[in-house]
Structure 1
Amino acid sequence: MGRRPLSVVVAGGGTAGHIEPALALADAVRRLRPDARVTALGTERGLENRLVPARGYPLELIPPVPMPRKPNADLLKLPLKVRESVKQTREVLERVGADVVIGFGGYVSLPAYLAARGRVPIVVHEANARAGLANKVGAKFAERVLSATPDSGLAGAQTIGIPLRESITQLDRWALRMQARQHFGLHPHAPTILVFGGSQGARTLNTAFSGAAEALGRAGVGVLHAHGPKNTIAVQQVPGAPAYAAVPYLERMDLAYAAADLVVCRSGAMTVAEVSAVGLPAVFVPLPHGNGEQALNAQPVVAAGGARLVADADLTTQRVIDEVLPLALDAQRLQGMSRATLGSGHREADRVLAQIVLEVAGQ
């Protein structure tokens, strides 16, 4: 008799930082157990509605449970919202015959943990340097607790890095370089800076780099700049200089990484993990809001010598000209940073987490 197909439920909806690790884990599980059924939990408004079906996995929608940051009327409604969401999530777990639930934080993880508690084994993965509330709750009754970095705030967490898709972990930047630069219309040989501020762009990066476009062009440096779909930038193109390619969004991050010698970007957990995995030298500009976790995310790579950290308020056009431009022209320095960046990454995190999931599921 054949064994029953493994049923895995991943909870990581809301933002790409929660969804992408969940999908990378799903892919790794399927590589180890091709017969496994992986179901993703999400909400009707999250990015998972686009990302999950595109990767070929079924998506089950449940009511979100956003945690109010301040005492208000929503806080009084929270118990009712949690109860309804847990009820619907439990129905999903029963319908798919879940053997294990893996949560990555965010709005859908809390109801997933509460619905699975005492019924289905739980695995928690924390991507950020500071654990969120949902994962703090889930860790209290999880079989295994994993984190991307040490000292995440989850007791007993094993540090494994962040699961990343194979198109990133197996990326050969040098082999793809010419194809990548042709794809974006970049100079085939000029030093090239990749600039992006997340899926929506970042005003600070847009202003600083568009203002430095002429100086970068005159120095022989090309730029690939994702400014965000709701933003526009005007740049001064220098005749005969390497192109300054401004695009709203980067659909092919693998080619963007392959095209670049240096990246200037925010330091969300997923971004830091991907940059480290591909060995790309970085200047991280942490988002100035929140609890400071973006600066903490970048610290291991900065400490290893693979990146520099610049505060959002300090990234001006003049700072780009005085600091980023000379770095982009220093090939020897970039090579050393690339080696350091690679040494700080966890390229095997998807496989490690998938093996842990199978162990917890008893398979």
Structure 2
Amino acid sequence: MRVVLAGGGTAGHIEPALALADALRQIDPTIGITCLGTDRGLETRLVPARGYDLQLVPAVPLPRAITPQLLAVPGRLAGAINAATGILDKVGADVLVGFGGYVATPAYLAARRRGIPIVVHEANPRPGLANRLGARLTDHVFTGHPDTALPGAVCIGIPLRRQVVDMDRFSLGDKARSYFGLESDRPTLLVFGGSQGARSINKAALDAAPALRAAGVQVLHVIGPKNTVEQEPPPGDPQYVILPYVDRMDLAYAAADLVLCRSGAMTCAELTAVGLPAAYVPLPHGNGEQRLNAQPIVQAGGGLMVEDADLTPEWIMRVLAPLLHNPEKVAVMCEAALQMGRKDADVTLARKVLEIAAR
């Protein structure tokens, strides 16, 4: 069996593809897996690091409005489709699974050209252009959100890393806090802004650092690999640990009592899968999908939501600091978050893919 996975650009496209790859290999270690990507996305680092073959095709960004750039798209897209077709032929693909992003459009069209079965997975409530196209080329469409508007789609959740969903957050807590240089008995706030970080979240949390420390709250703050900090909080207790990037997000989750973060689809899926409540700060621009991601969790009592413009050090101290000192309330929110989580989407999608390919 040869499976080709197409999803690149952001971790939100790549991580579900890699989780599916892991699940496929768990079912059958002999399955051949090739990931398609472009040279401008995180896949150039994440895919090889997980031990999977990565083949690159030219990136073809599609403008969302009629502009002069649109005239260059057909020629560039034809080249990307030819490149994707060549890779499908070379590996002898039995099925193509697309997760969206720049690489998915030429991959879907190449698979259609060769008569290879297509499977589409859309993580977000508002599908991107690539997956809207892919869904027109196949009957096999799966989503991570029940309200995603794709015809004939079946909601199965988002494939997640087993390293995250299989951990026992509470039994790992002391070990995880020690791993990051944190104390075992302090209320702990985890701050991050997705795979690239978020400046507004970084600024609000750092500005609140002295007050958080005075309130007895320790912080693990992942600022993002491309972000810098003008002035770090001085050493002291409780700890305020700043890291550019964390490869072991399972340990970061296990160390935390509460999270301050964006509400990307992957973030929401992982936090609910491990039962970790969060204060979600939806991205203030884009199509509004981050608000839709977090809304059901907040309505169920598994988190809070604050507008990006309203996130200030004062808000953090007024809302989050008291919550961190209320373990009973946090425990109720943990249970509510856990009830919203899905842990089995990787295995469910893997079995569907193998069934479709076998036909």
* 1:291 alignment counterpart: 287
* 1:165 alignment counterpart: 161
Match of 1:334 among 304, 311, 330: 330
Structure-to-structure mapping, 1:55-74, within 5 angstroms = 55-74=50-69
Match of 2:213 among 217, 221, 228: 217
* 2:229 alignment counterpart: 232
Distance in 1 (alpha carbons) for counterparts of 2:73 and 2:289: 26
Amino acid in structure 2 at the alignment position of 1:66: P
Count residues in correspondence.
357
Q: C-alpha displacement at 1:55, in angstroms? A: 0.9
Distance in 1 (alpha carbons) for counterparts of 2:15 and 2:349: 14
Distance in 1 (alpha carbons) for counterparts of 2:154 and 2:230: 43
Moved more, 71-80 or 9-18: 71-80
1:311 aligns with 2:287: no
Q: Deviations over 1:4-27 (max 9, x none)?
A: xx1000000111110110000001
Distance in 2 (alpha carbons) for counterparts of 1:100 and 1:34: 17
Q: Deviations over 1:148-207 (max 9, x none)?
A: 011211111111110011101101111211111111111111000000012332121112
Q: Is the 8 A contact 2:13 2:99 kept in 1?
A: yes
Amino acid in structure 1 at the alignment position of 2:286: G
1:86 aligns with 2:71: no
Q: Deviations over 1:192-240 (max 9, x none)?
A: 000001233212111211111121112111110112232215354585x
Q: Deviations over 1:242-288 (max 9, x none)?
A: 11111122121111101000001000111111111111011000110
Distance in 2 (alpha carbons) for counterparts of 1:205 and 1:100: 40
* 1:75 alignment counterpart: 70
Distance in 2 (alpha carbons) for counterparts of 1:337 and 1:144: 35
Distance in 1 (alpha carbons) for counterparts of 2:208 and 2:130: 42
Q: Deviations over 1:96-137 (max 9, x none)?
A: 111110000000001111111151000000011110110000
1:194 aligns with 2:193: no
* 2:257 alignment counterpart: 261
Moved more, 99-108 or 229-238: 229-238
Amino acid in structure 1 at the alignment position of 2:329: R
Amino acid in structure 2 at the alignment position of 1:214: P
Q: Is the 8 A contact 1:237 1:243 kept in 2?
A: no
1:355 aligns with 2:351: yes
Q: Is the 8 A contact 2:188 2:256 kept in 1?
A: yes
Q: Is the 8 A contact 1:213 1:237 kept in 2?
A: no
* 2:149 alignment counterpart: 153
Q: C-alpha displacement at 1:53, in angstroms? A: 1.0
Amino acid in structure 2 at the alignment position of 1:231: T
1:121 aligns with 2:117: yes
SS for the counterpart of 1:131 is coil
Moved more, 257-266 or 321-330: 321-330
Q: C-alpha displacement at 1:301, in angstroms? A: 1.1
Distance in 1 (alpha carbons) for counterparts of 2:344 and 2:188: 28
Q: Is the 8 A contact 2:139 2:152 kept in 1?
A: no
SS for the counterpart of 2:179 is helix
Aligned-residue sequence identity (percent) comes to 55
Q: C-alpha displacement at 1:84, in angstroms? A: 1.0
Q: C-alpha displacement at 1:70, in angstroms? A: 3.1
Distance in 2 (alpha carbons) for counterparts of 1:279 and 1:211: 28
Amino acid in structure 2 at the alignment position of 1:58: D
The TM-score, its normalising length taken from structure 2, stands at 0.97
1:103 aligns with 2:75: no
Q: Is the 8 A contact 1:220 1:242 kept in 2?
A: yes
Q: Is the 8 A contact 1:24 1:164 kept in 2?
A: yes
Q: Deviations over 1:305-344 (max 9, x none)?
A: 1011111000011100101111111101111111111110
RMSD of aligned alpha carbons: 1.3
Moved over 4 A (4+): 235-239
* 1:3 alignment counterpart: none
Q: Is the 8 A contact 1:213 1:244 kept in 2?
A: yes
1:53 aligns with 2:48: yes
Give ranges in structure 1 of 5+ residues lacking alignment.
1-5
* 1:174 alignment counterpart: 170
* 2:9 alignment counterpart: 14
